[in-house]
């Protein structure tokens, strides 16, 4: 590891960002990459290998973002690269069925018993959109319940926030989204079953689905309460509502069977992404055969995509999931994540700084907060003002974290004990100056 950096971003990243702003919206292709929430301009990343990434100025960082989750095996894993190279030699896309998509679907079904039929798409956004459309088509209902602070991609009907109360009807949280697109989206509070029951009672027989992240990762990592999850399953069964588990982030990341296996919850539909693409753009939705049979060509719910199931992305996903059949990987990832957050908590306590942590397999996070964080309101009440200084300090120490206080962090099989020691040393050093 190089010594602490004197200036970040470096001159090359600064120049690239200036150029990017002349051609790309805001200089980026996804908003969080702009680093605005941490008050600096972004680093441009040139390459990655194992647990490390290198920016355009050749600065080296231990990476805990991992392309926002999919790189569970680390950057440029040889098995994934070899699989992709082999697929490329046969062609990049055919717009026709290929064997690899059958094999990957079988892997997904084997890991997640609640999935009878699968439809591959190209992103988590598409997976969520497809699952909602299938749920509405199957039930003949229009309304959907989501939870404040849970993110399901930039699907128009889900870009909503809670407003001033848990029972607020959807209000568009983005420009360009017509009110009619979100008026059927209802907002409940995570870990609050009563907020769901109140909505069900207010709109009897009108709710098609409840969609949730079992482990929220875009308002920080929050632990679900078992009574809440079991209560959701019960109310959905009683009211004929489909339960959709968004496992785009958690699927094959917190356990081979996803978060649904950790909490022994059986959803009607599930969405996947991230890890199942092995670093390539892949999404999927799947679930009960009777629900998925509503999707074309079996049923009237239309969804299509030219690049869906393309052989290159399927090959990458197959290589990754084949390695992840060894479930001791998740035990090891969990142990590393737990050791790191335990170290964070201990170091913070020594400095008298309140810190809340959570980890599940290779996914972890923390809040600068006095009390445990149970929901979106608690996350907003944490000390987010401290995060920009903390983030910059860690970056100067060679540790690459998410440029937002509300994002999950990710461990990979490539992180070793030395990486954890360096990270804890950096954490202690940065806390000294907060």
Q: Which residues are known catalytic residues?
A: 151, 246, 274
- Beta pairing, strands 409-410 & 363-367: antiparallel
Q: Where are the beta strands (DSSP E) in 82-155?
A: 117-121, 143-147
**28 in helix, strand or coil?**
coil
Residue at token pair 């959807």: 170
CA 79, chain centre distance (Å): 23
Closest by Cα among 182, 159, 178, 158 to 170: 182
Q: CB neighbours of 251 closer than 8 A, spacing ≥ 6?
A: 112, 258, 259, 270, 272, 273, 274, 275, 276
Q: Please name the residue that has the structure tokens 């992709």.
A: 84
Distance (Å, whole) CA 294 – CA 401: 41
How does 254-266 read in b/e, with b if 16+ C-beta sit within 10 Å?
A: bbbbbbbbbbebe
Distances (CA, A) of 400 to 16, 43, 358, 413, 433: 19, 10, 19, 17, 18
Distance CA 217, CA 228 (A): 17
């Amino acid at each position: 590891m190089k010594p602490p950096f004197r200036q970040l971003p470096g001159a090359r990243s600064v120049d690239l960002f200036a150029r990017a702003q002349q051609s790309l919206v805001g200089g980026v292709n996804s908003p969080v990459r702009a680093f605005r929430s941490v008050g600096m301009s972004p680093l441009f990343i040139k390459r990655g290998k194992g647990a490390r990434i290198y920016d355009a100025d050749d600065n080296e960082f231990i990476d805990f973002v991992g392309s926002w989750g999919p790189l569970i095996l680390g950057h440029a894993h040889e098995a994934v690269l070899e699989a992709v190279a082999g697929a490329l030699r046969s062609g990049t896309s055919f717009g026709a069925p290929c064997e690899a998509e059958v094999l990957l679907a079988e892997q997904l079904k084997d890991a997640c018993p609640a999935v009878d039929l699968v439809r591959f798409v190209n992103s988590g956004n598409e997976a969520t959109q497809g699952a909602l459309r299938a749920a509405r088509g199957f039930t003949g209902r229009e309304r959907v319940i989501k939870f404040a602070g849970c993110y399901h991609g930039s699907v128009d009907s889900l870009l909503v926030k809670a407003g001033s109360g848990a029972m607020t009807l959807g209000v568009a949280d983005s420009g360009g989204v017509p009110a009619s697109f979100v008026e059927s989206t209802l907002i409940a509070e995570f870990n609050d079953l009563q907020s769901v029951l109140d909505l069900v009672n207010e709109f009897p027989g009108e709710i098609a689905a409840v969609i949730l992240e079992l482990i929220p990762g875009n308002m920080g990592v929050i632990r679900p309460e078992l009574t809440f999850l079991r209560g959701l399953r019960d109310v959905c069964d009683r009211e004929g509502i489909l339960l959709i588990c968004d496992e785009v982030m958690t699927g094959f990341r917190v356990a081979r069977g996803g978060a649904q296996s950790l909490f022994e919850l059986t959803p009607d539909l599930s969405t996947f992404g991230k890890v199942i693409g092995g670093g390539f753009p892949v999404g999927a939705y799947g679930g009960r055969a009777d629900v998925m049979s509503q999707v074309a060509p079996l049923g009237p719910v239309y969804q299509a995509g030219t690049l869906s199931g393309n052989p290159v992305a399927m090959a990458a996903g197959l290589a990754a999931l084949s390695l992840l059949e060894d479930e001791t990987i998740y035990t090891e990832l969990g142990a590393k994540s737990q050791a790191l957050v335990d170290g964070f908590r201990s170091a913070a306590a020594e400095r008298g700084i309140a810190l809340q942590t959570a980890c599940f397999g290779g996914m972890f996070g923390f809040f600068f907060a006095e009390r445990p964080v149970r929901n979106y309101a608690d996350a907003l009440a944490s000390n987010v003002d401290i995060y920009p200084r903390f983030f910059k300090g860690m970056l100067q120490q060679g540790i690459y974290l998410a440029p937002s206080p509300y994002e999950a962090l990710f461990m990979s099989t490539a992180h070793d004990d030395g990486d954890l020691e360096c990270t804890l040393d950096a954490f202690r050093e940065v806390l000294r100056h907060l």
